[in-house]
Amino acid sequence: MQDEPLNLAFALEHAARFHGHVEIVTRQVDDGKIHRYTYADSLRRTKKLANALRKLDVQVGDRIATMAWNTFRHFEAWYAIAGQGAICHTVNPRLFEQQIEFIINHAEDSILFLDAQFVPMLEQLQEKLPSIKHYIVLTDEAHMPTTTLPKTVAYETLIQDEPDEFDWPTFPEETPSSLCYTSGTTGNPKGVIYTHRSNFLHSYAINCKDVIGLAATDTVLKVVPMFHANSWGFAYACPMVGSKLVLPGSQLDGESLYELLDEEQVTISAAVPTVWNMLLAHLSDSDRQLPYLQEVFVGGSAVPRRVVESFDNEYEVTVVHAWGMTEMSPIGTICRLKPFMKQFDYQRQVDIRLKQGTPVFGVAMKIVDDDGNELPRDGLAVGRLLVKGPWIVKRYYKEPDNAVDDGSWFDTGDIATIDEYGYMQITDRAKDLIKSGGEWISSVDLENAAMGHPQVALAAVIGKFHPKWEERPLLVVKPIDNSTVSASELFDYLTDKVAKWWLPDDIAFVDDIPLTATGKISKVQLREQFHDYELPEARVSS
Ligand code: ADP
């Protein structure tokens, strides 16, 4: 066979040549207006940017950061950076400033592409980011903010005089294409490097019919942000088959998404449950339907039963549950019924569809006990979920090996069962994290912040159900003897110590917090103790 090293730029080249008239539609972040162009236009502009980056002396292996919503310019940046062998580092703007500072410095990014709304944040941080030599604002001169950032240029100005021809260089397919940091249970985020090869294989895998299976007949609303978990692979999978691509910019509320779903006649979309909660609330308030939408993919957190049933019964849209991780590019499993299950009654089918699903071809998966022994696939045994495969992280960026067991399995930090038909179901999380609207909150960091208060003897944080965000933190506090500290005093105390959206939804005072034999807080017992507790917002909705 021929030795043709894989380059992700081939996906856009292919789309431009064979689906050149197909549209990419963006809700612009500057003014909310709709921008339309085609894959052919996109490739031309991507090549202009590739030339501009080369002039800025970008070399193979350089890290170039983006801090941006899903837009056509961000899409072009992905391809122009990776296509020439540099590494596109997607920075999550929802992280708090110290984390952003850490990851940009850790990656040693040399250029930062950013949406105009993030300019003030970067002005605050710029002196602490010595590696960044150029700031490129993803806008035109008309919308360019005045800024104190050095060496800053509007994207359109940067590319305007560049030629739209560019020969993608040849490099080994194991060359890194992109970098995404994921929050650890404590301390600093960790980087996951994707390669051209891993992204190629992952994109082929998710385009199988029984996985996501995009087609040229699809219009895809890509809600999952491009700064999240490799954008679930959609930025490559869509052009590979020529699906029409709809990019929602920064407006992710129910009404804005509904408008795009309806006006662009979207057939497929993908997002975390919180997005679907907001859309369903909007649909029911406004008495609207979804005549074009066929399938929605839900992942990032477990899909709630009410989301599946509501889409099924009120809108005739099929919800497909998926599970994955930033470390897995990210798709690991997908939940579709096997043919014989179509005979089951509806509730039994939904029970299965709420599981995280069966592995995508290319991902090996097993559950093990604490000694690493594989547990039976009987739907009952509960164990640590391990995975391996060609699009699963080997080690974190600039970190020693993270592999466990026989050296090749990756420990997901999820606790799961696997049933006789291969369906995996997550039952718990070994990592001490809370997932709120698709974003991580570190329980440990929040606990440490609370423990800094002089009247707090011990603090523990657990996640509790929230009707909009799925999970929110509850802070459990054991005060020191004779303490007079109140909940409002503690809230005030935490306000400047953690990001606003990390603040707990409630604070419960207790006489004692259960500890394990080794003196650590026993989250298992604490969760048991607060089993029937409901957060204020959950009480209102129930
Ligand atoms: P993503 O954005 O794809 O969810 P992250 O790396 O942020 O990637 O988070 C991965 C973790 O999120 C998983 O290890 C798991 O704990 C949780 N998760 C992802 N998908 C699901 C799901 N469908 N059900 C339950 N938990 C999930």
- Answer whether 325 contacts ligand 1 (Cβ < 6 A): yes
* Residue in 28, 9, 25 with CA at minimum distance from that of residue 17: 9
pLDDT at 537: 86
Give the model's confidence band at 405: pLDDT under 50 very low, under 70 low, under 90 confident, else very high. very low
* The model's pTM: 0.90
Q: Which tens digit of pLDDT belongs to each residue from 304-322?
A: 899 999 999 999 999 999 9
Whole-number Å distance between alpha carbons of 244 and 183: 32
Q: Two tokens at 116?
A: 């105009």
pLDDT at 406: 55
**Catalytic pick among 327, 439, 447, 471:** 327
Higher pLDDT, 538 or 458: 458
- Answer whether 426 contacts ligand 1 (Cβ < 6 A): yes
Q: How many CA atoms lie within 13 A of 414 on its CB side?
A: 25
- Answer whether 310 contacts ligand 1 (Cβ < 6 A): no
- For 463-501, give the DSSP string: EEEETTTEEEEEEEEEEPTT----HHHHHHHHHTTS-GG
pLDDT at 184: 64
pLDDT at 322: 98
- Closest CA to ligand 1's atom 8: 325
* Mutate which of 223, 301, 333 for ligand 1 pocket (most atoms within 8 A of beta carbon): 301
Give the model's confidence band at 404: pLDDT under 50 very low, under 70 low, under 90 confident, else very high. very low
Domain coordinates of the chain in residue numbers?
9-20+36-195, 433-541
**How many beta carbons lie within 10 A of that of residue 531, not counting itself?**
8
CA of 516 to the centre of ligand 1 (A): 27
Three-state secondary-structure class, residue 72:
helix
CA of 409 to the centre of ligand 1 (A): 18
* Residue in 405, 298, 280, 288 with CA at minimum distance from that of residue 354: 298
Give CA angle at 366 (438, 214), nearest 5°.
50
Give the model's confidence band at 326: pLDDT under 50 very low, under 70 low, under 90 confident, else very high. very high
Whole-number Å distance between alpha carbons of 449 and 496: 10
- Answer whether 383 contacts ligand 1 (Cβ < 6 A): no
Whole-number Å distance between alpha carbons of 490 and 104: 32
**Residue 182 is a catalytic residue:** yes
Between strands 244-247 and 470-479, the pairing is unpaired
- Answer whether 273 contacts ligand 1 (Cβ < 6 A): no
- Closest CA to ligand 1's atom 26: 301
* Mutate which of 426, 428, 439, 443 for ligand 1 pocket (most atoms within 8 A of beta carbon): 426
Whole-number Å distance between alpha carbons of 130 and 516: 44
334, β-bridge pairs: 322, 358
**Catalytic pick among 190, 222, 244, 435:** 435
Residue with tokens 């939940």: 335
**Residue 295 is a catalytic residue:** no
- Closest CA to ligand 1's atom 5: 325
Give the number of the atom of ligand 1 that is nearest the alpha carbon of residue 228: 2
Question: Is CATH 3.30.300.30 correct for 433-541?
Answer: yes
CB contact at 8 A, 261 and 296: no
CA of 331 to the centre of ligand 1 (A): 10
- Answer whether 321 contacts ligand 1 (Cβ < 6 A): yes
The CATH-assigned architecture of domain 9-20+36-195 is 3-Layer(aba) Sandwich (3.40)
Residue with tokens 């965000």: 469
pLDDT at 541: 65
For residue 364, report the phi and psi dihedrals to the nearest 5 degrees: -95, 145
Q: Is the pLDDT of residue 29 over 60?
A: yes
- Closest CA to ligand 1's atom 9: 325
- Closest CA to ligand 1's atom 10: 325
pLDDT at 414: 92
**Residue 440 is a catalytic residue:** yes
- Answer whether 439 contacts ligand 1 (Cβ < 6 A): no
Give the number of the atom of ligand 1 that is nearest the alpha carbon of residue 182: 6
CB contact at 8 A, 227 and 68: yes
Q: At what angle do helices 72-83 and 9-18 cross, to 10 degrees?
A: 120
pLDDT at 432: 82
* Residue in 152, 222, 165 with CA at minimum distance from that of residue 45: 165
Whole-number Å distance between alpha carbons of 350 and 354: 6
- Closest CA to ligand 1's atom 16: 414
* Mutate which of 202, 307, 352, 435 for ligand 1 pocket (most atoms within 8 A of beta carbon): 435
- Answer whether 299 contacts ligand 1 (Cβ < 6 A): yes
Q: Which tens digit of pLDDT belongs to each residue from 204-248?
A: 999 999 999 999 999 999 999 999 999 999 999 999 999 999 999
**Residue 537 is a catalytic residue:** no
Give the number of the atom of ligand 1 that is nearest the alpha carbon of residue 302: 24
- Answer whether 229 contacts ligand 1 (Cβ < 6 A): yes
